[in-house]
Amino acid sequence: MLPTQPGPLGTTPALLIIDPQYDFLDPDGAVYCPCSSVDSTAEVVENIRSLVAAARRADLPVIWTKESHRDDRSDYGAELLSVERDHTLAGTEGEQFLSTFNSEQDLPPAEYLVRKRRYNCFHNTDLDHLLSTFDIDTLVLAGVTTNVCVHYTAQGAHERDYVFRVVEECTAGTSQSLHDAALEMLTYLQPSGVQPLESVTDALADYDGNETVKRVKRTGSVVDLEK
Domains of the chain: 13-219 (3.40.50.850)
Spacing of C-alpha 117 from chain mean position: 15
Buried/exposed code over 93-130 (b: 16+ C-beta within 10 A; e: otherwise): ebbbbeeebbeeeeeeebbbebebbbbbbbeebebeeb
Averaged pLDDT for residues 66-72? 83
CA–CA gap between residue 202 and residue 207 (Å, rounded): 9
CA–CA gap between residue 14 and residue 29 (Å, rounded): 28
What pLDDT digit, counting tens, does each position of 136-159 carry?
Answer: 999 999 999 999 999 999 999 999
The pLDDT-based confidence of 124 (bands split at 50, 70, 90) is very high
What pLDDT digit, counting tens, does each position of 158-200 carry?
Answer: 999 999 999 999 999 999 999 999 999 999 999 999 999 999 9
Q: Cα angle at 173 between 32 and 101, to 5 degrees? A: 65
Query: What integer pLDDT is reported at residue 63 of this predicted model?
Result: 98
Query: What integer pLDDT is reported at residue 79 of this predicted model?
Result: 75
> 94, 85 in Cβ contact below 8 A?
no
Question: Exposed, middle or buried by CB within 10 Å (0-12, 13-18, 19+), for 225?
Answer: exposed
Averaged pLDDT for residues 201-219? 97
Percentage of the chain modeled with pLDDT above 70? 96
pTM for the complete prediction?
0.94
> 94, 88 in Cβ contact below 8 A?
yes
Please state, rounded to an integer, the average pLDDT across all residues of the chain: 93
